[in-house]
Structure 1
């Protein structure tokens, strides 16, 4: 990658890393009524979808794939992520734990797509699982583990969406983001009505704080549309193995931003486990290069998890 495109890849990692702090500000605006997390996700995807769905062509995949990606990669992932953060999961730690989706994708693809992982990828999974265990132990020493488990469920939902997209041979494009995003608002708004009650939902909508509105705009426009648009362009120009390793910067940015803006300081156990998790993800996605020429495509039957790094943020 040339310097300009490398800088754009870093910019995307920064936008996605700051996304977690933006979500935290929106969930906890301070001085006003907090928006229920499921309703907040529905608001985000209204902004992702409209008015763009009227100008962006439907992706060339079946409706089953679009609905599946919308339910798992968007509604499930972000509904659970926002819920976990609303229950106390720190923004920086959430940006780290969500990267477990790479490792979960390796396992799910082996089970449902018959894509046999390499030894290197299996080693990455083992390192990542060990890292998550250390994070859980460190987290349990200072706070309840439930929010951590919910964010792990968000990572599993994201990985499931990856498998659906892969099976459908969906192109990694902005159209899939917008059209699959249309699946999200009504189900999550309906769930919010059931879980939080109509009075709470109506009161929240009637008392939206500036921080919540700005957060929804940032997550929809910069994290989803701008970030994903740049990312998809880079994947169209370069091998995915050149582009996807930049996602390893996302938790670095997320944890640094949370430390500077939210005064979140991870415990020693969380930090050690996080480094081990990142080592596992790096082992799974960083590919060895041949001595000459660009990287060749993977051998038949081998999973290339770097393809999944283009998933929606």
Structure 2
């Protein structure tokens, strides 16, 4: 990999790891539905003025916008508002890897290899550690509702991954940047309607009263985390094999934990640390498991 590729990978990890802090900061003044509408409106504009619609069926753009935008991030914003820490959210959201494998097996008939099966078992132990933390310490600053909503958000991320796989099958050469820009238009109206339906009248939109911190959070989430991050990551995948790029994703939870602890003063309990270690270990097994050599059985050797 060239130096610019390492720089691009580092930028993606930094942006995706710190965007959880940006979400927390934005939720201090905005409701989850308002934050969702603002994020995707900024992701759509002004790039839509310069980027043509993607060349694939509109249903894939609509499905991705609903699963990734409304469902994944809608649930994540609700989780962060309900008491999920930015640090743990950056870890638990990576469970999407295992939900993707499960959905791929059920919906697409994809095979689940032994490394992935072992990784899923280790990740289940990690979730068990988080459950023990709730049982023994009451979550230590993390609510059960926030935890469950984050797990549901990871499942919706996996659903959006299945949509992308089906879209690539239908149109193998579609360009990701137009896909990301125009799918960002889809969640705006649902988030606005959800805000009008469920947000208290006292929290109704008053953009003039937003602080600079909230505007910066919206811009960071819309332009950097959504458009720039995915565009750079996709560019890496186009230039290099997936097994060369995927290991960088392991650093996202590390950056997320550090950002939450340093930027927001979040605290992590021993049981939560145990769960984090097991989840990251399971992700490492997914990334590097296919590289492990398998012992060849000699003819006539016992099984």
* Fold similarity call, TM over 0.5: yes
Of residues 187, 212, 236, the one that matches 1:184 is 187
After superposition, the C-alpha distances for 1:129-178 in whole angstroms (9 at most, x for unaligned) are 22122123224522431100001111111100111111222657112111
Q: Is the 8 A contact 2:82 2:143 kept in 1?
A: no
Q: What is the TM-score when the length of structure 1 is the normalising length?
A: 0.86
- Distance (whole Å) between structure 1 residues aligned to residue 291 and residue 119 of structure 2: 18
- Give the TM-score taking structure 2 as reference length: 0.89
Residue 39 of structure 1, CA deviation: 0.9
1:69 matched to 2:64:
yes
Unaligned 5+ segments in structure 2 are 294-303
1:286 corresponds to which residue?
A: 288
Q: Residue deviations 1:243-263, cap 9 Å, x none?
A: 122111111001001111111
Q: Which has the larger radius of gyration?
A: 2
Deviation at 1:264, TM superposition (A): 0.8
1:149 corresponds to: 148
Aligned to 1:240: 242
Partner of residue 273 from structure 2, selected from 271, 274, 296 = 271
> Using the alignment, how far apart are the partners of 1:290 and 1:101 within structure 2?
23
Q: Which residue of 2 aligns with 1:138?
A: 133
In the alignment, structure 1 residue 89 sits paired with structure 2 residue 92: no
Flag as ranges the 4+ runs of structure 1 deviating above 4 A.
none
Tell me the SS of whatever aligns to 1:231: helix
1:107 aligns with 2:99: no
What is the aligned length?
Answer: 285
Match for residue 47 of structure 1? Answer: 42
What residue in structure 2 maps to residue 4 of structure 1? 4
Counterpart position of 1:210 = 212
Which position in structure 1 is the counterpart of 2:297? none
Q: CA deviation at 1:199?
A: 4.5
* 1:99 aligned counterpart, secondary structure: helix
Please give the root-mean-square deviation of Cα atoms over the aligned residues, in Å: 1.7
- SS across alignment from 1:168: helix
1:197-235 CA deviation, whole Å, 9 max, x = no partner? 444223x43421221111001111111222222111111
Paired residue secondary structure (2:186): coil
Q: What is aligned with 1:117?
A: 112
Q: Is 1:262 aligned to 2:257, yes or no? A: no
Q: How big is each residue's C-alpha offset from its partner over 1:236-285, in whole Å with a ceiling of 9 and x where there is no partner?
A: 10011111221111110010011111111211111110110111122123
State the shift of 1:59 in Å: 2.1
Separation (CA, whole Å) in 1 of partners of 2:134 and 2:231: 35
* Contact in 2 for aligned 1:136/1:148 (Cα 8 Å): no
Q: 1:250 to 1:27 in 2, by over 3 A?
A: same
Q: Secondary structure at the match of 2:290?
A: coil
Aligned mates of 2:81, 2:165 — CA distance in 1:
31
Mapped to 1, the partners of 2:192 and 2:128 lie a distance apart of: 34
Counterpart-to-counterpart distance in 2, 1:2 and 1:290: 26
Residue 84 of structure 1 deviates from its aligned partner by 0.5
**Aligned position for 1:311:** none
Quote the residue 1:162 is aligned against: 161
